[in-house]
Chain A
Amino acid sequence: MSEFSNPPRRALKLLRFYCSEERLEEIEGDLCEVYNEFIRERGKKYSKIFYWWLVVKNFRSYALKRKKMKNKGLIDGLFMFLKHNILITWRNLLKHKNTSVINIAGLAIGIASFLSIYTIVQYELSFNKEVPDANRIYRITSSFSGSFKSTNRGVAVPVSGHVKETFTGMETVSPFHNFSAKVSIYKEDVKEDMGRQRTIILADESYFDLVSLDDWIVGSKESMRDPFKVVLTASQAEKYFGNKNYQGMMDKEIIYRDSLKVYVSGIVRAPEYANDFGFTEFISYPSISASWLKERFGSDDWSSTNSSSQLFIKLHPESNYEDVLSQMDELDKYVQEQNEGQDWIQSYNLQPLADLHYNQDFGIFDYSGSSTHKPTLTVLSIVAIFLLLIAVFNFINLETVQSTNKSKEVGVRKVLGSGRFHLVGRFLTESVLITFFAVIISIPLAHYGLIFFDEFVPEGAVLRYQDIGFWFLLILLTFGVGLLAGAYPSWITSSFVPIKALKSGFNLKSTSMRGSWLRKALISFQFLFSQLLIVVTFAVVLQISFMLDKELGFEEEGVIYLFTPWYETDEKKELLLNEIARIPEVQEISMNGAPPVQNGYSTNTVKYQKGEDELMLNPHQKSGDTSYLHFYGIELLAGTNLRPNESANEMLINETFMKDLGFEMPRDVIGLNLELNKKDYRVVGVMEDFHFRSMHHPIQPLMLRYNESNRCIAMKAGSGDQLERTIDKLTEKWDAVYGEIPLTINFMDETVSKFYESERKTSKLASLATGLAIFISCLGLIGLISFTIVQKSKEMGIRKVLGASVLQIGSILSREFVILILVSFAIATPLSYFAISKWLEDFAYQTEISWWVYGLGGLASVIIALASIFAKVWKASTSNPIESLRYE
């Protein structure tokens, strides 16, 4: 045993790696001894290999780390760790009830708003995504250029036939017409009115292939080949017949507009995913040519395009999009040949199905609501994330300042050997657990929130409990928010030096200061966001009231109007008119093609020979009787009113039109000849400009002509009781003349205010978000101030003893927040200016947003913040100093 050699290092390392701690010492010793003996007996040659061999051979069950046992221990340990943490968390929650409530409530509201907005956005984005082969489906839409520029979601009726004949590479070509009609059904020989249905289409069997509507209960798509057949969706059939006996509904008669009789030939189940094809009844295509429908939908005019005449194609899976585009070019050429002689060009384009729900220019279908504005969804998502962040910031702030409360716990744990990561784990468990409670509470909040705020929640946007993704999102939120909110506070809390933490009188001075810049930044951000929302909401409200209050340039007060049915005779209209004239409450009547403002609009091409040049204009057109000007109080700047004679070919134009024609003085333009519909019209007067469209649009050129066949009857009928009596009598007269056709009475001021429906929605949504943001931030403020008050109670006591007033104490306590709000105000102002200008760009007429609106945001948040902490501060500053000093 003269000398000793150490075994090869790497082999030793391997041994130490796999060998259990329990056995390592003896085995390592044994191997070492054997190794040295080997060297002594046989020399160093091969000795290393021998040792390696020993180590490898030693790789047996007795020496190995007991993996199984260890693992079990780990899981047990983790479980213990969690159980222990959860218990302590629970105790902590109960101990600091106020903070817990604020934390959980803030997070729950933040998460609930996030969930609701997520649900809405998700729903809106899911539209038509699940339609089978959605990526191969396109709608053919029209756009016009030349003498007028416009778009239309429909096509000229003969286009569909042409596409069917000439296009290659199509799986399905499906034309259909949107149709709306009063529906009635005979039930036991009694005709029963089912009301007006808007979700009707006239379609052929290809429609069912297009959207893969193939869940037939009875009947089949082939039945659509015959005239006077109708297929219903299951839900519509149940609505009509009141039972689920689908077989018994076959061949039942359904009557549209009292005159079109069709027979049920099939019932199909509609898909449940979100889609725009919400049609409920499908009248067979051959019915068009066999009935009066042909007047409306049976046209073979290439130059007339109606938005209700839809054409969809589904490409063959193998066909090439480029090929289809070139075929579309061919189609355009063909259409131009057909429309030879028109001074405009119609071209057809493909609109992918994915675009259908979101394209503002085309809209969806005639019956559908307005299409979804994608940028709005983006803004909504940003608001959702910020609301969530505000709640997270609350949590971070409260937990950070509260960390002193945990100093003793941290001290004791560290003394007992807890590492920093154990502590971080312990506090993260706490924050995840608190978030978990918040998520649990947020589910019913979001559920009922979505129901309660149905004004801006689209129908069908509900929490998708049946969806695994939804639960996954909840889990993600729990951990994401929990970890995000808990990371910083737990890091700070676990950093305490145990001796200092355990020393009595441990104060936050050293530790809290470290986090104070972050806390300040977070508070500033919360108020920044709140202020931004306050100012933007206010600006939206201001703009709406500006638009509603702005002089329209015509009289709208107390004007009501109604349209007579276009398919009824003129005699009936005259009859009704005479009847109305006899109602004593009606003060004035005017017949016109359309009231000064209306939802739709109509334009026409006018040619003007100005010297050598031919000027082409595309003014809006309206028509009325001679009372139009007087009835609506529209001023004539020059010239005379129209004569009651259609063939006189006279027109009135507005100021803008006059300026577009290149004239400055109204009287100069009188007597001018303009060519319209290949006829010469003479300008006899110039009207003062009035707003005939919403304030989104600048006033455009307009011409007014005399027309005898007007359908709109406008009348002034006073207000209040008088108005109600008028409406009663009006309804009576209407029923006498038109029988079952429903009467719709429009109020002019309502029509105007309906223009701003979406703005009003925006303002409501913005106020809601503002309220939530302010509420969550104020919750946080209250939590922070109550903590500060506890911390500073002795200081306040001493100050009071020395003679400080209530006001002074209050200002000391709240000074920090006011400064922070002012800082955030400085940042919020340019941001909100930017946001508002961006939003106002949509309007041709914008209200002035004066400086005080911005100031108001700052002021409001200071006031709200002070008000929310007032009670706490008041209590602290009026309390008897003895209370806080007594124990010293």
Chain B
Amino acid sequence: MKGTNLGEFEELVLLTVGILYDNAYSVAIQKELSKQSGRKITISSIHSAVYRLEEKGLLNSRMGDMAKIRGGKRKRIFTISKAGKVALAKASEIRNKLRSQIPEVAWQNLS
């Protein structure tokens, strides 16, 4: 059932990967996303999201360099793929399209 549809969290992760360009590995994504959204996000939820996105073909990845703080392990750097770009565009397009169709009156008298 894995289409190219993006979940909300997936979309945020995908956007963050874009922001971090070439330094987008799991821990960095977690920090950036927490900072930007103010949400508390665990590392494992990032993991499950990026791996899922990679499986869907929306992210590409390669192994980066290692760091001492990582116990000498390399990190996996993610970048947005073409399909990822299309998916992001589609998502915001749908959103905008839907949003533009909401009648003005619906915004009034909100409780």
Residues in chain A within 8 A of chain B (CB atoms): 1, 4, 6-7, 23, 25-34, 36-37, 54, 57-58, 60-63
Is residue B79 within 8 Å, beta carbon to beta carbon, of the partner chain?
no
Count of chain A to chain B residue pairs whose CB atoms are closer than 8 Å in the complex: 68
Q: Is the beta-carbon distance between B73 and A34 smaller than 8 angstroms?
A: no
Question: Chain B contacts of A29 at CB under 8 A?
Answer: 66-67, 70-71, 73-75
Q: Is the beta-carbon distance between A63 and B47 smaller than 8 angstroms?
A: yes
Chain B, Cβ-Cβ closest to A27: B47
Is residue B76 within 8 Å, beta carbon to beta carbon, of the partner chain?
yes
Is residue B92 within 8 Å, beta carbon to beta carbon, of the partner chain?
no
Question: Chain A contacts of B66 at CB under 8 A?
Answer: 29
- Given B42, B44, B51, B70, which contacts A32 in the complex, CB threshold below 8 Å? B70
Q: Is the beta-carbon distance between B73 and A54 smaller than 8 angstroms?
A: no
B 30-62 contacts with A by CB, 8 A = 30, 42-44, 47-48, 51-52
Q: Is the beta-carbon distance between B70 and A33 smaller than 8 angstroms?
A: yes
- Given A1, A6, A36, A62, which contacts B52 in the complex, CB threshold below 8 Å? A62
Q: Is the beta-carbon distance between B43 and A54 smaller than 8 angstroms?
A: yes
**Chain B: minimal CB distance from A9 (Å):** 12
**Chain A: minimal CB distance from B40 (Å):** 13
- Given A30, A57, A60, A62, which contacts B70 in the complex, CB threshold below 8 Å? A30
Question: Chain A contacts of B67 at CB under 8 A?
Answer: 29, 33
> Would you list 12 pairs from A and B whose C-beta atoms are within 8 A, ordered by A residue?
A4-B68, A7-B71, A29-B73, A30-B26, A30-B75, A32-B69, A32-B70, A34-B27, A57-B43, A58-B47, A60-B44, A62-B47
**Chain A: minimal CB distance from B29 (Å):** 10
Question: Chain A contacts of B43 at CB under 8 A?
Answer: 30-31, 34, 54, 57-58
Question: What 6 A-B pairs are tightest by C-beta distance, nearest first?
Answer: A29-B73, A29-B70, A32-B71, A26-B76, A62-B51, A57-B44
**Chain B: minimal CB distance from A266 (Å):** 73
Q: Contacts A27-B47, A30-B75, A31-B43 known; A4 to B69 CB distance under 8 Å?
A: yes
Chain B, Cβ-Cβ closest to A32: B71
Chain B, Cβ-Cβ closest to A34: B43
Question: Chain B contacts of A60 at CB under 8 A?
Answer: 44, 47-48
Q: Is the beta-carbon distance between A26 and B26 smaller than 8 angstroms?
A: yes
Chain A, Cβ-Cβ closest to B45: A57
A interface: dominant SS = helix
Residues in chain B within 8 A of chain A (CB atoms): 25-27, 30, 42-44, 47-48, 51-52, 63, 66-71, 73-76
Q: Is the beta-carbon distance between B70 and A58 smaller than 8 angstroms?
A: no
Question: Chain B contacts of A34 at CB under 8 A?
Answer: 27, 30, 43
Q: Is the beta-carbon distance between B27 and A62 smaller than 8 angstroms?
A: no
Pick from A37, A62, A63 the residue with the most CB of B within 10 Å: A62
Q: Give bound CA distance, A62 to B46, whole Å.
A: 11
Question: Chain B contacts of A6 at CB under 8 A?
Answer: 71
Q: Contacts A26-B74, A62-B51, A62-B52 known; A33 to B69 CB distance under 8 Å?
A: yes
Question: Chain A contacts of B69 at CB under 8 A?
Answer: 1, 4, 32-33, 36-37
**Chain B: minimal CB distance from A644 (Å):** 117
Q: Give bound CA distance, A6 to B43, whole Å.
A: 18
Q: Give bound CA distance, A6 to B73, whole Å.
A: 12
Chain B, Cβ-Cβ closest to A7: B71
Q: Is the beta-carbon distance between A32 and B48 smaller than 8 angstroms?
A: no
Q: Give bound CA distance, A36 to B66, whole Å.
A: 15
Question: Chain B contacts of A30 at CB under 8 A?
Answer: 25-27, 43, 47, 70, 75
Question: Chain A contacts of B74 at CB under 8 A?
Answer: 25-26, 29
Chain B, Cβ-Cβ closest to A26: B76
Q: Give bound CA distance, A33 to B47, whole Å.
A: 14
Question: Chain B contacts of A28 at CB under 8 A?
Answer: 71, 73
Question: Chain A contacts of B48 at CB under 8 A?
Answer: 60-62
**Chain B: minimal CB distance from A311 (Å):** 81
Chain B, Cβ-Cβ closest to A23: B51
Q: Give bound CA distance, A26 to B43, whole Å.
A: 12
Q: Give bound CA distance, A497 to B27, whole Å.
A: 50
**Told that A26-B26, A60-B44 touch, could you supply 15 new A-B pairs with CB distance under 8 A?**
A1-B68, A4-B69, A25-B73, A26-B63, A26-B74, A28-B71, A29-B74, A30-B26, A30-B27, A30-B47, A31-B43, A33-B27, A34-B30, A36-B69, A58-B47
Q: Give bound CA distance, A63 to B25, whole Å.
A: 16
Pick from B30, B43, B52, B66 the residue with the most CB of A within 10 Å: B43
Q: Give bound CA distance, A32 to B27, whole Å.
A: 10
Question: Chain B contacts of A36 at CB under 8 A?
Answer: 69
Q: Give bound CA distance, A34 to B70, whole Å.
A: 9
Q: Is the beta-carbon distance between A54 and B71 smaller than 8 angstroms?
A: no
**Chain A: minimal CB distance from B67 (Å):** 7
Q: Give bound CA distance, A23 to B7, whole Å.
A: 23
Q: Give bound CA distance, A30 to B44, whole Å.
A: 10
Q: Give bound CA distance, A37 to B31, whole Å.
A: 11
Q: Is the beta-carbon distance between A54 and B75 smaller than 8 angstroms?
A: no
Question: Chain B contacts of A1 at CB under 8 A?
Answer: 68-69
Q: Give bound CA distance, A54 to B48, whole Å.
A: 13
**Chain A: minimal CB distance from B24 (Å):** 13
Q: Is the beta-carbon distance between A32 and B47 smaller than 8 angstroms?
A: no
Pick from A28, A30, A60, A61 the residue with the most CB of B within 10 Å: A30
Question: Chain A contacts of B44 at CB under 8 A?
Answer: 54, 57-58, 60
Question: Chain A contacts of B76 at CB under 8 A?
Answer: 26
Q: Give bound CA distance, A506 to B90, whole Å.
A: 71
Q: Give bound CA distance, A63 to B48, whole Å.
A: 9
Q: Give bound CA distance, A33 to B26, whole Å.
A: 10
Question: Chain A contacts of B70 at CB under 8 A?
Answer: 29-30, 32-33
Q: Give bound CA distance, A34 to B67, whole Å.
A: 13
Q: Give bound CA distance, A2 to B52, whole Å.
A: 34
Question: Chain A contacts of B25 at CB under 8 A?
Answer: 26, 30
Q: Give bound CA distance, A31 to B30, whole Å.
A: 12
Q: Give bound CA distance, A28 to B26, whole Å.
A: 11
**Chain A: minimal CB distance from B46 (Å):** 8
Question: Chain A contacts of B52 at CB under 8 A?
Answer: 62
Q: Give bound CA distance, A62 to B74, whole Å.
A: 18
Chain A, Cβ-Cβ closest to B70: A29
Question: Chain B contacts of A33 at CB under 8 A?
Answer: 27, 67, 69-70
Q: Give bound CA distance, A2 to B86, whole Å.
A: 42
Q: Contacts A29-B71, A32-B70 known; A57 to B42 CB distance under 8 Å?
A: yes
Q: Give bound CA distance, A26 to B27, whole Å.
A: 10
Q: Give bound CA distance, A501 to B95, whole Å.
A: 72
Pick from A4, A29, A60, A63 the residue with the most CB of B within 10 Å: A29
